[in-house]
Structure formats: structure tokens, C-alpha cells
Amino acid sequence: MKFQFIYLPVFTLLFSVASISHSVGQPQLTRNGRIVFFSKNELENIEAANNQVTSVFNPQNGDIVFMALIKGFKFRKALMEDHFNENYMESNKFPKANFKGAITDISKINIIKNGSYPVKVKGELTIHGITKSIETLATITISGGKINAVSKFNIAVKDYGIKIPKLLVKNIAEIIEVIVDCTYEPLKKT
């Protein structure tokens, strides 16, 4: 196997040993996480969603990673999807976006008590081959033994080296709104 270090944080989190017997205390996994982004501009609003985001969250120390395939974002129009992959994201060259970080105030969350907990998330986001530190707010909801994480933040396309042709500056926003929504389950092998 040609090991790629992009997967190291995922493997590390997946195989970390849980010392808490309660299931929500174990490493949590989703392979059906959702990332939606919105570009709102004068001429048109563009929206795309990816429902196959992999994410691992360790509720004990707050470590959290996300991984999304760029080609997994679905658009309303085939041409939009084509331009997104070929012209802007260069998805053959940079097939993935990923985030590696942690909830910095994990002690605020009581993992065995149902509730909604506003938290801070800090880490490194890699898009289009460029890694930037980001800090944002998120909400962790614990309900019926399941953990849900939602975060909404903005990214500037120029920060990630994504070039918008002058002809299209009125079509594509310079600031993209991103919503991440993941519902986790305790890691289980089948």
C-alpha cells in the first residue's frame, strides 16, 4: 500500500483507544457527512452539496478531522459542475479537501447529557492544495446517544489560490459560505 499521510489523522483517531465505556465517549465516525457551499453574487446564486464526507471525532479530547472529495460536490447544472472541477478547483490535481483540528473548549460538552453546546473549533483547512489555519464556531448536539456537529463559516477563494476569470467575477462570489453538518455514530466494525 502506498500510504498517503493525508489519512494519518483519520487512522490515528479511528484507532485511538476509548477509555470511557459509554458509546458516545468512543471515537465517532461518519461517512455520510454533508458539506454545502453557497456563492451569492449579483448575477447568480450557486449552491453545491457533498453528502459523502468522512469525518472522525474524538469526544474525549476534541480532535476532529474531515475529508471530502471535490468531485463529490453536486450542482444543479452539469456545466457548473464541469467548470467547478476543471477551471477552479482543478480536482484532478487536488482531488480532496480536508480539515484537521480540534474543539478547543471540549470541556464544555457533557457527552452523556442531551443538549446543544456552542463550541470553538480551530485547525488547518486544506483546499486546492493550500493549507490555512482557521478558527470558527460550531454547535455540538447530543441527543439519544448520537452526536451531531454543525458549523457555518466563510472562506475567501483567493486565500486558496482559486482564480476566478475577470469575465466571471459577477457570477462567482469572492467569499463562499460553507456549512458542515455531520451526525456521528460510534465506530463499529462489521
Q: Residue 164 forms beta bridges with which residues?
A: none
Phi, psi at residue 83, to the nearest 5°? Answer: -65, -40
Residues in the interface with another protein (CB under 8 A) total 36
What does R_g of the chain's alpha carbons equal in angstroms? 17
When asked if residue 186 is in the footprint of another protein (CB under 8 A), the reply is no
d(CA 129, CA 98): 10
What is the SS3 assignment for 170? coil
Q: Which of 24, 15, 29, 39 is nearest to 88 (CA)?
A: 39
CB of 16 to another protein, least distance (A): 14
Identity of the residue, 53 or 119, whose beta carbon is nearer to another protein in the bound complex: 53
CB of 91 to another protein, least distance (A): 9
Residues in 114-143 that interact with another protein by CB under 8 A? none
Phi, psi at residue 159, to the nearest 5°? Answer: -60, -25
When asked if residue 53 is in the footprint of another protein (CB under 8 A), the reply is yes
Among 24, 46, 68, 89, binds another protein (CB under 8 A): 68
What is the SS3 assignment for 169? coil
CB of 101 to another protein, least distance (A): 18
Task: Return residues touching another protein (CB under 8 A).
Answer: 1-2, 4, 7, 10, 14, 29, 31-32, 34, 49, 51-54, 67-69, 71-72, 74, 77-79, 81-82, 85-86, 92, 95-96, 181, 187-190
